[in-house]
Amino acid sequence: MVKNKYYSAKEAAELLGISKQTLLRYEKRGIFPKPKRNLVNGWREYTESDLNRLKKILGRI
């Protein structure tokens, strides 16, 4: 069984071609939906599906 790959906010920002600060700002302003949080450490976790949705919002697909 393959575990789902999760991307950190930094990794997600790099894949989207924006800074982590911009990613977090867009989330705070409601431009991006809030991602799932890790139950242990509270960090944001982005899936491949999340990244595709964010790319569409940015107009990069």
Query: 34: buried, middle or exposed (CB in 10 Å: 19+, 13-18, 0-12)?
Result: exposed
Residue 1 banded pLDDT, cuts 50, 70, 90: low
pTM over 0.75: yes
Residue 53 banded pLDDT, cuts 50, 70, 90: very high
All structural domains of the chain: 9-58 (1.10.1660.10)
Sign of the torsion formed by the C-alpha atoms of 25, 28, 29 and 35: positive
Average pLDDT of the segment spanning 50-55: 96
- Model confidence at 61: pLDDT above 90: no
For all residues of the chain together, what is the average pLDDT?
Answer: 93
Residue that the structure tokens 């930094």 belong to = 10
